[in-house]
Amino acid sequence: MKKIGVVLVEDKADMRAIVKDIINLSEECICLGAAGTPGEAREFILTMKPEVVLMDVHLNTNETGIDLIRELKPQVPTTQFMIFSVFEDEDTIFDALRAGATGYLIKKTDPVDTLSAIKELAEGGAPMSRQIARKVIASYSGQIAPEQPAADELNMLTEREREILEQLSKGLIYKEIAANVNLSPETVRKHVYNIYLKLHVSNRVEAVNRYYGR
């Protein structure tokens, strides 16, 4: 089985070593490179073209991880960038998403959940830590989203979104779902993102469990 190639960008050596070990202990992922500086990050990402990049925001230089995403994403369009940071403020979140990040985890995320997020991102998802997802939701609704969706919120899903959610519940990856429903993977990604917003969740497992009341 081909493993998901990951490049880690983290300026703190101890954290870099810990996260690298977590990735390499996974049966589904492998750390292709662990960069401590923007220069190393450019070299690893442009040379290796990994499926996923875990990107810290502050790199102890004038350049931030968000600057790197903005610069590098057009050069490696198939690489998915996920912020991996302690910062949860709205400005940082939306700057990262605008720059081209398609996932956002906070560093205190459980290792198992981190690996699940990497896998989901590689399959076309947009995983976010719950705290981050709630702030994104709040930005659309103008208020803090409740922990549990009301019945009318469940009914807000369109027929197409329900169809895709049923496909998610079968464990299919995004490319398989796209083929089954005659959509592009990118369109499926957008539908899944809307499902997450409407159900107030941050990943496929939570979406399926929330919708089916498990």
Question: What pLDDT sits at residue 213?
Answer: 64
Give domain status of residue 141, yes or no. Answer: no
Q: What is the mean pLDDT of residues 82-91?
A: 86
Q: How confident is the model at residue 146 (pLDDT cuts 50, 70, 90)?
A: very low
Same domain flag for 127 and 187: no
Same domain, 88 and 160: no
Residue whose pair of structure tokens reads 């502050």 in the numeric block: 58
**pLDDT attached to residue 150:** 47
State whether 123 and 186 are in the same domain. Answer: no
Q: Which of 23-37, 165-179, 198-212 has the highest mean pLDDT?
A: 23-37
Same domain, 123 and 157: no
How far is residue 21's CA from residue 16's CA, in Å, rounded to a whole number? 9
On whether both 27 and 111 belong to a single domain, the answer is yes
Question: Do residues 130 and 175 share a domain?
Answer: no
Q: What is the four-CA torsion angle of 22, 15, 9, 99, rounded to 10 degrees?
A: 100
- Answer whether residue 148 shows pLDDT above 50: no
E strands, 47-178, in order:
52-55, 80-85, 103-106
Which range, 49-63, 99-113, 151-165, is most confident? Answer: 49-63
Domain boundary among 102, 136, 170: 136
Are the C-beta atoms of residues 144 and 138 closer than 8 Å to each other?
A: yes
pLDDT tens-digit series, residues 178-208: 899 998 887 888 888 788 777 777 677 777 7
pLDDT score, position 144: 41
Of 101, 136, 171, which one is at a domain's C-terminal end?
136
14 lies in a domain? Answer: yes
Domain presence at residue 157: yes
From residue 28, alpha-carbon distances to 25, 90, 115, 171 in Å are 9, 32, 9, 16
> What are the backbone dihedrals phi and psi of residue 177, each rounded to the nearest 5 degrees, phi first?
-60, -45
- Residue 63 — very low, low, confident or very high, per pLDDT cuts 50/70/90? very high
pLDDT category at 126 given cuts 50, 70, 90 is: confident
Q: What is the pLDDT of residue 145?
A: 44
Range of the domain at 22: 4-136
The mean per-residue pLDDT over the stretch 142-154 comes to 48
Question: How many structural domains does the chain have?
Answer: 2
What is the residue-averaged pLDDT of the chain? Answer: 85
CATH number of the domain residue 180 falls in: 1.10.10.10
Q: What's the pTM value of the predicted model, to 2 decimals?
A: 0.68
Residues of the chain with pLDDT > 90, as a percent, come to 43
